Amino acid sequence: MRRDLLRPVSRLSPMLVPAGASLALWAVWLGWDQRRDVQPDGSTTGPYEAWQVIGLLLTLLVPVYWAASRRHIAGAVLGTTAGLTAAAFYDWSDDSSGLFAVGVGLVMLGSLLVTTAVSAAIVSAKRAGRPMGT
């Protein structure tokens, strides 16, 4: 009986783990920095620095690798994409110009493409590293 209750959770975990990790990592790396920096010439930059985005991308490799190495490519790709898209939407939705939707769409498209490529590379590398016949 208990095994039947855990079966849906074990089937969803390859998608839920990358999605939850993506949300949490966005909050850790980008969620706290909401202030734009004003340059001496009056222009503004930010709110994120390059090191924050690079840190986010590098740490996202862990949940993507976790799912893709278990051959859950859909979970790695869709879970990560869903988590990043939801985080970007939540973080940027207070923008009064309405252009946040363009940014969220670009986050969704970019994360979909990159996680697909990274997941395919992980699966390919894992397959190449295995002895024949296993």
- Three state DSSP letters for the chain: CHHHHHHHHHHHHHHHHHHHHHHHHHHHHHHCCCCCEECCCCCEECCCCHHHHHHHHHHHHHHHHHHHCCCCHHHHHHHHHHHHHHHHHHHHCCCCCCCHHHHHHHHHHHHHHHHHHHHHHHHHHHHHHCCCCC
pLDDT averaged over every residue in the chain: 88
User: How confident is the model over 45-64, as pLDDT tens digits?
Assistant: 778 889 999 999 999 999 99
Distance CA 16, CA 25 (A): 14
Label residue 38 left, alpha or beta by phi (over 0 means left) and psi (-120 to 50 means alpha): beta
pLDDT tens across 91-134, in order?
A: 998 888 888 999 999 999 999 999 999 999 999 998 887 654 44
The three-state secondary structure class of 48 is coil
Q: Which of 2-6, 77-81, 95-99 has the highest average model confidence (pLDDT)?
A: 77-81
The rounded percent of the chain whose pLDDT value lies above 70 is: 90
